[in-house]
Structure 1
C-alpha cells in the first residue's frame, strides 16, 4: 500500500511540474506575441511576425488548457483554484502568477521519510 501511495504522489508531482512548464511556455509566447510580434506588425509593417507567433501561442494556449483539465481532473482541486488556473491564462504575465500555487501543491505531495527503524515496502 505504501508503495502505491508513493507512486501516486510521484505521478501527481510530475503532472504539476509539467503544468508549471507548460504554463511558463504559454506565458512566454503571449509576452512575445504582445510585446514583439504585434508592435512589429503595426509599427514596422511586418505582418509575418503575428502570422508566425500567433499560431505558436495558440497551440501553447491549447496545450496549457489541456494540461489544466488533465491535472485538475486527477486530483482534489477547489473550484477557485481551477478558475484561477484558467483565468490567468488570459492575462499577460498571468502565467507567472500560478507558479507559487502550483509549487505549493507540489510541495504538499512530498512524501515524508519513514521513521527510523521502519521499512517501507
Structure 2
C-alpha cells in the first residue's frame, strides 16, 4: 500500500504541474501569442502522464478497497482539473492513512514509537 500511495502522489504532482503549464502558459501563448510550440510539447506529455495517473489511481483505490463511485471516480477525475490533482492527492493521502495506518512511511512510524 505504501508503494502504491507514493507512486500515485508523485504522478499526481507531475500531472498537475503539466496541466497547469498547459492551461495557464501554453494555451494562452497559442491563442494570444499565436505560438503553439509549447502546446505541441506539453500536451502529449500531459496525456501520457494522465494515463499513468489513471492506472496508478485505479490501482491505489483497489488496494484501499474503495467503492468505484464516488471515491475511485473522484480520484481519477482529479487530474482533469487544473490544480485538482493536488487536492485529490492530499485527500487520498489523508484517507489512506486514516483507513490504513500501516501505509505510513516507515521512518515516520519509527519516530512515533519513540
TM-score above 0.5: yes
TM-score range, shorter chain: 0.7 to 0.9
1:29 aligns with 2:21: no
Task: Determine which structure has the larger helix proportion and give its number.
Answer: 2
Q: What TM-score does the superposition give when structure 2 sets the normalisation length?
A: 0.78
- Counterpart for residue 101 of structure 2: 110
8 Å CA contact retained: 1:31, 1:93: yes
- Radius of gyration: which is bigger? 1
The alignment covers a number of residue pairs equal to: 102
The 5 A counterparts of 1:1-121 are 12-78=1-67, 79-108=69-98, 109-111=100-102
Higher relative contact order (CA 8 A, sep 6+): 1
Q: What TM-score does the superposition give when structure 1 sets the normalisation length?
A: 0.74
List alignment gaps of at least 5 residues for structure 1. 1-11, 114-121
List alignment gaps of at least 5 residues for structure 2. 103-108
